[in-house]
């Protein structure tokens, strides 16, 4: 079953047809962060560790496209000061952080892409409540006792952003972190 769902989501705009358009219209009217009863992409959620149990839930997070702008109050700008910030963060990492900000007693397990249009990206973020008895009893999910996985770049998208998906030649400056490698000299 999951294989067929995965095939549909390879090209969702073509395969889902009018349902895709209806979803986008409805999602644009929803709040930025919305808690869901069940994941939209069950195949992807299950592959990232989702289980239908108490203490684990899904949040759909909307992130607007475009550059990250710095607010400017007024006065003269120096040549070095720009209104557009060049961040190394991906939209997915930003979505995880914002979802974690709303549900601050939970930890981000993982996240995946759901949709995009000309203005927004939508990601579904899997969140775990580490204090829940069912989660504590679970062997796999019980290890999420630390705090701030999303903020420290410990999720899959965070590790990719930090350059930790690669090892060996060409990735010498990624470990222990880019900042630590710069300060080594």
In total, the chain counts a number of residues equal to 185
Can you tell me the mean pLDDT for 159-177?
A: 88
**Average of pLDDT values for 30-34?**
96
Query: Rounded to an integer, what is the distance from CA 6 to the centroid of its chain?
Result: 19
Rg value, the chain, Cα: 19
Is the pLDDT at 145 greater than 80? The verdict is: no
Cβ-Cβ contacts under 8 Å for 42 (sequence gap 6 or more) = 2, 5, 50
b/e code 90-109 from CB counts within 10 Å (16+ = b)? ebbbbbbbbbbebbeebbbb
pLDDT, mean of residues 30-48:
93
For residue 158, pLDDT over 80 is answered with yes
- 162 contacts 179 by C-beta, under 8 angstroms: no
Lowest-pLDDT range of 22-31, 50-59, 74-83: 74-83
For residue 13, what pLDDT is reported? 82
Q: What is the pLDDT of residue 76?
A: 79
Give the end-to-end CA distance of the chain in Å, rounded to a whole number: 54
Mean pLDDT computed over 93-107: 94
Confidence of residue 28 (pLDDT cuts 50, 70, 90): very high
Res. 127: pLDDT tops 90: yes
**Structural domains in the chain plus CATH codes:** 2-145 (3.40.1120.10)
């Amino acid at each position: 079953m999951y294989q067929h769902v995965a095939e549909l989501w390879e090209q969702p705009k073509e395969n889902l047809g009018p349902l895709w358009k209806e979803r986008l219209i409805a999602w644009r009217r929803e709040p930025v962060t919305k808690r869901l009863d069940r994941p939209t992409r069950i195949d992807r959620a299950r592959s990232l560790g989702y289980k239908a149990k108490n203490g684990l839930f899904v949040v759909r997070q909307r992130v607007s496209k475009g550059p990250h702008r710095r607010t400017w109050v007024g006065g003269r700008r120096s040549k070095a000061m720009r209104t557009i910030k060049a961040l190394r963060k991906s939209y997915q990492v930003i979505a995880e952080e914002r979802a974690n900000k709303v549900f601050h007693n939970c930890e981000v397990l993982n996240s995946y892409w759901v949709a995009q249009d000309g203005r927004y990206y939508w990601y579904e973020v899997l969140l775990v409540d580490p204090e829940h008895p069912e989660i504590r009893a679970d062997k796999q999910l019980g290890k999420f006792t630390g705090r701030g996985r999303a903020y420290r770049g410990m999720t899959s998208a965070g590790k990719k952003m930090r350059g930790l998906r690669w090892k060996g030649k060409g990735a010498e400056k990624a470990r222990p972190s880019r900042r630590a490698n710069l300060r080594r000299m």
